[in-house]
Structure 1
Amino acid sequence: MMTTFKKTIGAIALAGVSIVAVAAGVQAAEKRPTELAPLGEPPAPPDNPTTPEKVELGKLLFFDPRLSGNSAMPCSACHLPELGWDFPDKISLGYPGTTHWRNSPTIVNTAYYGNYFWTGVSKSLEAEARTAARGGVAGNGEDDMMEARLAFIPEYRKRFNEVFGTEYPSIRDAYMAIAAFERSLVQRDTPFDKYMLGDDKALTKQQKRGMELFTGKAECSTCHNGALVTDQKYYNLGVPGYDGWETDELAQITFRFELLAKGSTEEKYRKWKDDPGLYFVTKEKADLGKFRVPSLRYTKYTAPYMHNGMLETLEDVVEFYNQGGGTNEFSKNKTKLLKPLGLSKKEKADLVAFVESFTGERLLMETPELPEYAPLPAVTN
């Protein structure tokens, strides 16, 4: 009996657990998944350091419709704060007279991405702001026109001078300010983050069961890993093509416009009925139908899901993966990582509950009061 007791005490000591703690009924901290991590401080590039004044200027510009072709399409038109900082429809809002052709991702936590848009065409938030403001079915703006408008706004001349040291606003600096503002939209206090930082009670029992599925049977962490919960790689999952292209004439026109603008042969222009995705960037057939893995953070408020919004709820997303993905025009490129999972109804509910733990309270923001135009000061000799 005494020998058995000594072996037990020795095993506890080797495990790094205090004998006093065991005697007091205190349990060791729960084991955290190594595939995932809490978010750290958001990065800021050396050529665009973050300052409070720059963020405040970027906030004004983010909500200002004058940074668009028709002075009516601000960044916030497609990234609505009260609706997840994205657009609540399958396809994002398009420039007046057009429609968009892809789902609008949230900009919450985009500070941590290494590339932007569904196919990674922009490599920084500064480039993303410029691409969105000038996109034919997005802001449709021209740099010189937008810059001229800023010059006629005294408040902007003052703020740009204070932040960038220029006499008149530069459109390049405007994109820098918008990027700085977007980097400030960070959420690091989710139940998941609190749990990963040591709070065992931050997740419910259901969410902990879901976490085990996420990193185990469901194999979600194969692609959704790290602090941002994405490997930022590109896959074809077999997501069905956008159904609006079957019935919406304007959506059909936009789709053909994008095929032509991004470089398609006449044969492909006439034949393709689905979004070629990463192919537009690489022109490699192996990349047809591939899109970047998005972060799962803040997704509780960003329905619908996938690059074309074809999955309406998080429950639909889990069921999609449970079935081993889907099929589309480019399914021969579908990733071999997907296979039927055989999840029960209870397991699927547990998984959804865990995914929701990557989201905290809504990040809300009122539209700021925008500065007014005024005549330029007279030139004096």
Structure 2
Amino acid sequence: MNRAIYLAILLFSILFFSFHRIEKPYAEYQTIEDLRQAYEKPTNLWPSPTLDSTAVFTELGALLPAPRLRKEDKSKAELGKILFYDPRLSSSNKIACATCHIDTAHWADKETLAIGHEDLVGTRNTPSIENVWIQKELFWDGRANSLQEQQIMSIENHVEMFQDIDELPKKIAAIKGYKKQFKKAYGTNNITKDKILNAIALFQQTIVSNPTPFDSFIDGDYKQLSDQQVHGLHLFRTKARCINCHSGPYFTDLQYHNQGFTFYKRKREDLGRFNVTHKASDVGKMKTPGLRNVMHTAPWFHQGIFPNIESVIAMYNAGMNIPHRREEYKNDTLFPVTSPLLKRLNLTKEEQQAIIAFLEALSSKPMLIEKPTLPK
């Protein structure tokens, strides 16, 4: 009888811990109960993150309120929405800002590379403009210092909209219905380049992501994250080292890093930030994208080379790509160097799936826009 009781207890213990023990736990947390206890509290009391000394770090946090439009700017933002959706801002009258930044696609386009004027294909993946108001610099390489600069570059780029920005006011002014819209927004029907750009910029600043299960968890509703997602959160901040670049409320340090995909001296070469600063140390660096709604903006990376999230996580687990410096590049000062923040992680399959589950908790419904009627 005693032997039967002993065996029953042993069997129960095996079954219990098979469900509750974290496989190959990181640091001191042996069970998910321990881990939940460590994270079900204010973020300033969370376990210390695994950070390198060069990391620009802000703790993860809930979604911040976007800047509210001033009363006098609301009609300008409405005008900006119309302009954003109007393909007549392009020389072909076929490409609008909204062609590549689609509300149902979380303001990206799900294409590998951007497609623009006359179906020309660009060299980079279209970044989402959700929460663009937090950005100090725009584009993957940060070449634009304001939303207005970003618009000029996109409108004039021969692969995108291919429209002379200085000729655009005359073109818009020829559309009778726009005079009424500009009068309402600016008090005069005089149409200028700056008014066009400022109106679109104001509209873009209203494009934000919605609250996620992670935000609810931060606010104290701890049931919003599953055990697997809490495990993923901990790995994100510690063993997986994601927090070194993806930090703060928007999961981005707004810095530039080389992830090893410069394709140096090859057909798809992209020198990234170097093309802006001309500093050798910036070769191949791209701006860290935010991770809110990341699960809905595939394919990933600046050239859209990863179609599924499992391959992304597997590549990070391997320490990313470190280009081999052949003899011919021994003294080449521009030879790309992969960020030292990227290291081999030795994550198990279970841990990789936990991180993916956590990324799902950063998802929300997209901000959908009622499409405007275009002036005639």
Question: One fold, TM greater than 0.5?
Answer: yes
Corresponding residue number in structure 1 for 2:291: 296
Q: For 1:345 and 1:186, how far apart are their aligned partners in 2?
A: 33
- Tell whether the 8 Å contact from 2:79 to 2:199 is kept in structure 1 after alignment: yes
Q: Following the alignment from structure 1 to structure 2, what is the Cα–Cα distance between the partners of residues 301 and 222?
A: 22
Alpha-carbon distance in structure 2 between the residues aligned to 1:29 and 1:341: 22
Choose 63-72 or 145-154, whichever is displaced more.
145-154
Cα distance in structure 2, aligned partners of 1:37 and 1:169: 42
RMSD after superposition? 2.4
Q: CA deviation at 1:236?
A: 0.7
Instruction: Return closer, same or farther for 1:284/1:272 CA change in 2, 3 Å cut-off.
Output: farther
Q: Tell me the alpha carbon deviations over residues 242-262 of structure 1, each in whole angstroms, 9 at most, x when there is no partner.
A: xxxxxxxxxxxxxxxxxxxxx
Counterpart among 319, 332, 339 of residue 335 in structure 1: 339
Q: Residue 224 of structure 1 contacts residue 295 of structure 1 at CA under 8 Å; is this kept in 2?
A: yes
Instruction: Work out the CA distance in 1 between the residues paired with 2:340 and 2:350.
Output: 26
1:309 and 2:331 are equivalent in the alignment: no
1:84 positional shift:
2.6
Assess, with a 3 A threshold, how the Cα gap between structure 1 residues 164 and 95 changes in structure 2: closer, same or farther.
same
In structure 2, how many angstroms separate the alpha carbons of the residues matched to 1:183 and 1:322?
35
In the alignment, what sits opposite 1:198? 220
Following the alignment from structure 1 to structure 2, what is the Cα–Cα distance between the partners of residues 28 and 206? 14
Q: Which runs of 5+ in 1 are unaligned?
A: 1-26, 242-267, 373-381
Counterpart in the other structure of 1:55: 77
Q: CA deviation at 1:49?
A: 8.0
Of 283, 287, 299, the match for 2:282: 287
Kindly indicate whether the alpha-carbon contact (under 8 Å) linking 1:228 and 1:296 is maintained by their aligned counterparts in 2.
Answer: yes
- For residue 368 of structure 2, what is the aligned residue in structure 1? 364
1:97 CA drift (Å): 5.5
2:156 counterpart of 1:137: no
1:177 partnered with 2:192 = no
CA contact (8 A) 2:262 2:284 kept: no
Q: Is the 8 A contact 2:319 2:342 kept in 1?
A: yes
Match 1:207 to one of 229, 239, 259: 229
Cα distance, 1:61–1:327 mapped onto 2, change above 3 Å: same
Q: 1:277 to 1:28 in 2, by over 3 A?
A: closer
Return closer, same or farther for 1:223/1:157 CA change in 2, 3 Å cut-off.
same
Flag the 1:106–1:29 CA change in 2: closer, same or farther, 3 A: closer
- Contact in 2 for aligned 1:238/1:327 (Cα 8 Å): yes
| Cα distance per residue 1:291-311 (max 9 Å; x no partner) | 111111121211000000011
Partner of 1:11: none
1:149 shift after superposition: 2.0
The equivalent of 1:166 in structure 2 is 188
Paired residue for 1:7? none
How far the C-alpha of 1:184 sits from its partner, in A, is 0.9
2-structure distance, mates of 1:187, 1:285? 35
Aligned with residue 324 of structure 1, among 319, 323, 345: 319
Aligned identity (percent) is: 34
| 1:354, distance to aligned residue in structure 2 (A) | 0.9
Match of 2:112 among 90, 104, 111: 90
| Equivalent runs, 1:227-242 vs 2, <5 Å | 227-239=249-261, 241=263
Match for residue 151 of structure 1 among 156, 160, 173 = 173
Query: TM (normalized to structure 2)?
Result: 0.78
Q: Is the 8 A contact 1:38 1:188 kept in 2?
A: no
1:309-335 deviation digits (Å, cap 9, x = unpaired): 011122221111111011458774111
Residue 102 in structure 1 maps to residue 112 in structure 2: no
